[in-house]
């Protein structure tokens, strides 16, 4: 598993680890298949790496 810049992920990619916000709230679970809309939302929220 590796850390990847948000600009390098594509729809259909699968998260290797769960994604949490700065309050330790779960945003996306490990194994989640990313969609184009979700990638755009992550960019808008300032997420730079997954």
Query: CA quadruple 8, 4, 25, 17: dihedral positive or negative?
Result: positive
- Dist. CA 30–CA 22, nearest whole Å: 17
Position of tokens 């990847």? 4
Using CB atoms within 10 Å of the CB of residue 2, give its burial: 0 to 12 exposed, 13 to 18 middle, 19+ buried. Answer: exposed
Predicted local distance difference test score (pLDDT) of residue 42: 93
- What is the per-residue pLDDT for 31? 96
pTM for the complete prediction? 0.81
> What does the pLDDT look like over 2-43, one tens digit per residue?
899 999 999 999 999 999 989 999 999 999 999 999 999 999
Single out the residue of 25, 26, 15 nearest to residue 49, CA to CA.
Answer: 15
Closest to 32 (Cα-Cα) out of 50, 9, 16: 16
């Amino acid at each position: 598993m590796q850390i990847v810049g948000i600009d390098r992920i594509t729809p259909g990619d699968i998260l290797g680890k769960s994604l949490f916000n700065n309050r330790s709230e779960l945003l996306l679970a490990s194994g989640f298949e990313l969609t184009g809309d979700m990638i755009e939302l992550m960019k808008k929220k300032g997420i730079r790496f997954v």
